[in-house]
Amino acid sequence: MKKLLMGAALLLGTAASAQGLLINGAGATFPAPLYQKWFSEYNKINPNIKFNYQAIGSGGGIKQFTEGTVDFGATDAALKDDQLAKAPDAVHVPTVMGAVVVAYNAPGVKALRFSGETLANIFLGKITKWNDPAIAADNPGMKLPEQTIVIARRSDGSGTNAIFTDYLSKISPEFKTKVGSGTSVNWPVGLGGKGNDGVTGLIKSNPGTIGYVELAYAIQQKLTIAEMKNKDGAWVKPSIASVTAAAAGVDVPADYRVSITNPSGKDSWPISGFTWLLVHKDMKDAAKGKAIVNFLRWALNDGEKMAEPLDYAPLPDALRERVLKTVDSLTVNGAKVSAK
Amino acid sequence: MADAAASSVAPAEAEAGHPGPGNLGDRIFNGTLWALGIMVLVVAGLIVLNLALVARPLAKEHSLWGFITSREWNPIEDHFGALPFLYGTLVTSAVSIILAVPVAIGLGLFITQFAPPKLGRVLTIPVELLAAIPSVVYGLWGLFIVVPWLRESIQPWLGKHFGWLPIFTGPPIGLGYLAAGAILAVMILPTVVAVSVEVMKTTPEANREAALALGATKWEAVMMAVIPYSRAGILGAVLLGLGRALGETMAVTMVIGNSPDISLSLFAPGYSLPAVIANEFAEATSNVHVGALAGLGLILFATTFLLNAAARVLVTAVQKGPSRVKG
Amino acid sequence: MNLHSSFTYRKVVDRGMAVVCALCFIGAFIPLISVLWLVVSNGAAGLSWAFFTELPKPVGEAGGGIGNALVGTLYMVGLACVIGLPLGVGAGVYLAEKGDGTIGSTVRFMAEVLSGVPSIVIGIVAYALVVIPMGHFSATAGAVALAILMIPTLARATEELVRLVPGSLREASLALGVPNWKTSLSVVIRTAMGGIVTACLLAVARAAGETAPLLFTALNNQYWNLNPSAPTASLTVAIYNYAISPYDDWHSKAWTASLVLLIVVGLLNIASRVLTRSRLKGAR
């Protein structure tokens, strides 16, 4: 009986692997809804190629990619220099841009707005009630409840976290020293949620909770979103347009590792960010390497068109051309990859 | 008869003395058995070895004492401390023991002493069913049923009437130590009940009947004969339940709030040793971070190991009891 | 007169405590009914052929199912059985046949204590043993974790069952000239086999319900997988991911998947119970 089982398993195993190509990736939850759509659509066009993407957070994506336990990674926190030292052949391929928004669950309170300092103090745990004078100052004339603020933040290694804390660190020196910025930080307060969906769930189910999530999640789950004051002093709502505006003035370096938080520009959303796919400059597996390169080409051409309906900002054309050239320069065992 | 058996065995053994298929078969069989038995020790060794190996980078940066007493969990600067997780694990386990043990002992007494034997057998079925439910299903139930119930009914009530106690302060969010402790209580109940029933059943009938003969009521017989006799075993049952509570992962992760803080209030979110390992292991980016998580795993392993060992000693001591009393 | 009222008091206490103890049963019964009722009522609506056979769809698209997760669980538990059942039962036989020495006591003690090790810790061990050398997540890593979990419990249960076989059976076989090893295999173990199968069924039920050790060994997979060296979906991890998501339709899927899991675990438990009953009936 057991021999039968083992034999069957081996047979099926070899059969399964002969049938299609399975490419494993892991990483950010920030772009996960869009990536899932991309992989699903790509599989419809190429039924033999399956991309298995696990949204475990940018931290996980970086780690698994560096250790080689996955074929590609995904992160919204660009590799720092010490991380790059461990994965020297990593290439960041920006795919789309997104907004990290401040969402909250305060029944009866609509259209709240926060200045950067107020937000930093809330997440430092210094502002503890919804009707705190600082919040009232940002929202003149609004009736605020006498309720304790419950904070929802990320419990896993997260690029969304990195973008959000990067912004707050730029705004508040106290935040920078006490909490810092990065995929995992020393949060002084708050409920930990796993992934963007975890935080969304926390906000949704607990009145009085405030947290930060990617725009797509907030819109899909109909969370109330706050307006923010940007660097130029204007009050902006998060939107695809405001994210695109944020990227407009920024000089993107050759390796695409750049932060676009707190940019100038009166239409800019202050907590925006790129998200990248991490691939190896020279891939060793011929079949997988070819599939990955051709997928990237498809994503940067056809995939970009699917970004807006899912509330992500596609890359500006000039940047997209640059990225396509970088993708063309990726090699498999030293050789360039032809379009299929 | 015994003689006849012995004398018929003797020729077989005499045969076995000669090299032949019987003897070789015996050797192979015994050897295989021995190897399989040793596998258990190998597995134990592998567990400790691998945990220690993965945890090694942690040892380079932290001393054991420093690790256990630090409250910091800072993956950016690679400073890790186990204290918030030890605290959370202990608090949730304590809550679960406080809630589950009285119910378990009462149920054990009911099954063994007060209920007619047939009913007693039937009553063990729901307890066994509780034990069979997987942890993630308890987590699901906890997240969607227990947490809102706590948030909307229990916690506000506790806060209103007992809010002067530091353990019932803070906003009622449902998630937190209390939710985790409550669900753990349901999960460890079957373990404590099963072992308690086993232990209570070994009380020599003579002791009970002596008490009853002296005119005691059933309850008094219990207090005079059963409880004192099985005390050690019940303690063992509690320790086993505690061991299970310490190691429970999924249900706790889903309702504890995942917040590496230390708070006196049971309404506050916290974290536990297994929960942080589950959340962060796949994503820990530095060797020290992975080492810290494996270090937490080692602490967990050592604690449950000691608890289970102590429990085993206690339970077997009670179960061996009758032979000591008779002899 | 004092005696009489004191006796009434004692009687009241006696009846009162009996009631309290009976009420403790309610304490156990209510959560059980709550869990079962909620899983059935929330999950039944989602049961459909599509649910059992389809792959999960991305967020926002309706439909999809847990087909790959169900297969993944069956596959990994199957692999775990291949590794764990022989080792666990074998260790149990060792303890029953040869386990009276120092080594035997140590093995017995270890098996007892190891059965209480948290499954998440076993997950770390499997990660170090399989994922790191292999270089990636795999169904094998998940299966190894589950197998390690099965071994101690099986060893203890098997030992008890084999010891229950009457010594007279063994002696009769030896008296007939059957070599020692054959006696053990064909007579003693065969007699205990019914009980051993029961113990295996329970071990399988436990393995099928585990989540924590699979989180960073088998990871997850959006597609069908029977390749032992690729990541694999599982029913329990699927329930976990659906439950902690913010999407309402995924929450419904979590309930339905839980119902499926409870049915699988329930069937295994019922099978073991039926086998025990028929074995006991047959023995009489």
CB contact under 8 A, B309 and C155: no
Domain count, chain C: 2
Could you tell me what percent of chain C has a pLDDT over 70? 96
Tell me which chain C residue has its CA closest to the CA of residue A64.
Answer: C136
Q: How far apart are CA B207 and CA B205, in angstroms?
A: 5
Cα–Cα distance measured from residue B246 to residue B282, given in angstroms and rounded to the nearest whole number? 21
Q: In sequence order, which residues have a C-beta less than 8 Å from that of residue A324 and are 6 or more positions away?
A: A297, A300, A301
Rounded-to-integer distance, Cα C251 and Cα C271, Å: 30
Q: Does residue C97 lie in a domain region?
A: yes
Q: What is the nearest CA distance from A134 to chain B, expressed in angstroms?
A: 21
Q: Does A152 touch chain C (CB under 8 A)?
A: no
Q: Express as a percent the part of chain C with pLDDT over 90.
A: 42
CB A34 within 8 A of CB A312: yes
pLDDT under 70: residue ranges of chain B: 1-22, 76, 285, 321-327
Chain B adjacent subunits, 3+ CB pairs under 8 A: A, C
What stretch(es) of chain B map to CATH 1.10.3720.10?
Answer: 66-326
What is the least distance, in Å, from the CA of C83 to any CA of chain A? 10
Q: Is residue A12's pLDDT more than 80?
A: no
By Cβ distance, the residue of A59, A193, A205 closest to B285 is A59
The CATH class, in words, for B66-326 is: mainly alpha
> CATH number, domain at C275?
1.10.3720.10
pLDDT at residue C284 tops 60: no
User: Considering the domain boundaries, does residue C176 fall inside one?
Assistant: yes
* pTM of this structure: 0.86
Q: What pLDDT, on a 0 to 100 scale, did the predictor assign at position B322?
A: 52
- Residue A185 has what pLDDT? 85
Q: Which residues of A touch C222 (CB under 8 A)?
A: 39, 50, 52-53
- A68 contacts in C (CB within 8 Å)? 135-136
Contacts 24+ apart (CB under 8 A), C163-170: C163/C96, C164/C192, C164/C195, C165/C191, C165/C192
Which residue is associated with the tokens 């991380």? A83
Q: Which ipTM value was assigned to this complex?
A: 0.90
* Segment C222-263, tens digit of pLDDT: 888 888 988 899 999 999 989 888 788 889 999 999 999 999
Measured between CA atoms, the residue of chain B closest to residue A188 is B261
Query: What is the 3-class SS of chain B, one letter each residue?
Result: CHHHHHHHHHHHHHHHHCCCHHHHHHHHHHHHHHHHHHHHHHHHHHHHHHHHHHHHHHHHHCCHHHHHHCCCEECCCCEECCHHHHHHHHHHHHHHHHHHHHHHHHHHHHHHHHCCHHHHHHHHHHHHHHHHCCHHHHHHHHHHHHHHHHHHHHHHHHHHHHCCCHHHCCCCCCCCHHHHHHHHHHHHHHHHHHHHHHHHHCCCHHHHHHHHHCCCCHHHHHHHHHHHHHHHHHHHHHHHHHHHHHHCCHHHHHHCCCCCCCCCCCCCCCCCHHHHHHHHCCCCCCHHHHHHHHHHHHHHHHHHHHHHHHHHHHHHHHHHHHHHHHC
Do you know the residue count of chain B? Answer: 327
Q: Cβ of A83 under 8 Å from any chain C Cβ?
A: no
C10/C78 same-domain check: no
pLDDT tens sequence across B171-221: 888 899 999 999 999 999 999 999 999 888 888 888 888 888 888 888 888
More confident residue, B181 or A69: B181
- Closest-approach residue (CA) in chain A for C225: A16
Average pLDDT, chain A: 89
Q: What is the pLDDT of residue A251?
A: 87
Amino acid at A314: P
Q: Are residues C22 and C140 in the same domain?
A: no
Interface of A with B in 201-240 (CB under 8 A): 202, 205-206, 208-209
Contact check, Cβ <8 Å, B40/C18: no
Q: Do A221 and C246 touch (CB under 8 A)?
A: yes
pLDDT tens for each residue of A263-314: 988 899 999 999 999 999 999 999 999 999 999 999 999 999 999 988 899 9
What pLDDT is attached to residue C44? 92
Are the Cβ atoms of B249 and C219 closer than 8 angstroms?
Answer: no
One domain for residues C18 and C156: no
B243: which chain C residues are within 8 Å (Cβ-Cβ)?
116
Would the CB atoms of C246 and A69 count as touching at under 8 Å?
no
Residue at C44 is within a domain: no
Chain C residues near residue A39 by CB distance under 8 angstroms: 58, 222
Whether A1 shows a pLDDT value over 60: the answer reads no
- Are residue C152 and residue C16 in the same domain, yes or no? no
- pLDDT, one tens digit per residue, over A196-244 is 888 998 898 888 999 999 998 999 888 999 999 999 999 999 999 999 9
> Residue A22 and residue C82: Cβ atoms within 8 Å?
no
Domain span including residue C13: 1-33
> Do the Cβ atoms of A260 and A97 come closer than 8 Å?
yes
Chain C positions touching B47 (Cβ under 8 A) are 114, 117, 121-122, 125, 148
A205:B280 CB<8 A: no
Domain annotation covers residue C104? yes
Residue of A nearest to B277 (CA): A156
Check whether residue C23 and residue C76 sit in a common domain.
no
Which of B71, B247, B249, B107 lies closest to B190 in space, CA to CA?
A: B107
Residue C88 sits in the same domain as residue C15 = no
pLDDT at C187 over 50: yes
Q: Considering the domain boundaries, does residue C244 fall inside one? A: yes
The region of weakest confidence among B246-255, B294-303, C125-134, C269-278 is: C269-278
| For residue C190, pLDDT beyond 90 | no
Say if the Cβ atoms of C222 and A39 lie within 8 Å: yes
Q: pLDDT band for A151, please (50, 70, 90 cuts).
A: very high
Of A36, A54, A68, the CB nearest to C219: A54
- Give per-residue pLDDT as tens, C141-152: 999 999 999 999
Residue A310's closest chain C neighbor by CA? C60
